[in-house]
C-alpha cells in the first residue's frame, strides 16, 4: 500500500477483501499521525465492528482529523452498531469531510437519527450516499 510507506495521503483498499487483522494493522500505522485525505474501505465484506470501530477512532486524532475529506464504507456488510457509532463521532469531530458513502451498510434504528443529525452539522459535506442502509424502509 502506498500509504504504508508514506507515499500517499490515501488509504484505498476497496474490494481487496482485507480482514479485521489487516485493518487493525492499518489502524496502528495511523498512530504515526500523518495526514489522511481519503479512506476507502468499500467492498470489504469481511470487515466487522471488531476492526472498523477502532480504525475509525484513529481518524479522530490530528492531523488525520484535520485532513480527512472522503470516507467510504460502502458494502462493508458486517459493520454494525459500533461502526455506526464511530462514524457519528467522526462526523461530530471532523470539519472538513466532503464525501461520505455508507451505502449497502445497515444502520440500526438507534443510530439513524444521530447519524443524520451529525451529518447535517458538517459544514463541508457535499456528497452523502446512504442507499440501502435501512434508512428509507417503509413501516
Going by C-alpha positions, the residue among 71, 22, 29 that lies closest to residue 51 is 22
> Within 10 A of 126 (CB to CB), how many other CB atoms are there?
10
Give the strand pairing for 127-129 and 38-40. Answer: unpaired
**pLDDT digit string (tens) for 15-60?**
999 999 999 999 998 888 678 999 999 999 999 999 999 999 999 9
Q: What domains, with CATH codes, occur in the chain?
A: 3-129 (3.80.10.10)
User: What's the pLDDT score for residue 45?
Assistant: 97
Whether the predicted pLDDT of 5 surpasses 50: no
* SS3 of residue 31 by DSSP: coil
User: What's the pLDDT score for residue 139?
Assistant: 44
Whether the predicted pLDDT of 138 surpasses 50: no
**pLDDT digit string (tens) for 57-116?**
999 988 889 999 999 999 999 999 999 999 999 999 999 999 999 999 999 999 999 999
Q: Is the omega angle on the peptide bond into residue 73 within 30 degrees of 0, that is, cis? A: no
Amino acid at each position: 500500500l502506498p500509504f504504508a510507506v508514506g507515499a500517499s495521503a490515501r488509504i484505498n483498499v476497496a474490494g481487496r477483501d482485507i480482514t479485521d487483522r489487516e485493518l487493525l494493522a492499518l489502524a496502528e500505522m495511523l498512530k504515526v499521525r500523518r495526514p489522511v485525505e481519503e479512506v476507502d474501505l468499500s467492498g470489504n465484506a469481511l470487515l466487522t465492528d471488531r476492526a472498523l470501530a477502532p480504525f475509525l477512532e484513529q481518524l479522530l486524532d490530528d492531523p488525520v482529523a484535520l485532513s480527512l475529506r472522503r470516507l467510504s464504507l460502502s458494502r462493508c456488510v458486517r459493520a454494525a452498531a459500533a461502526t455506526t457509532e464511530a462514524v457519528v463521532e467522526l462526523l461530530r469531530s471532523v470539519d472538513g469531510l466532503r464525501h461520505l458513502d455508507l451505502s449497502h451498510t445497515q444502520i440500526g434504528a438507534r443510530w439513524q437519527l444521530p447519524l443524520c443529525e451529525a451529518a447535517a452539522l458538517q459544514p463541508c459535506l457535499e456528497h452523502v450516499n446512504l442507499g440501502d442502509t435501512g434508512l428509507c424502509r417503509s413501516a
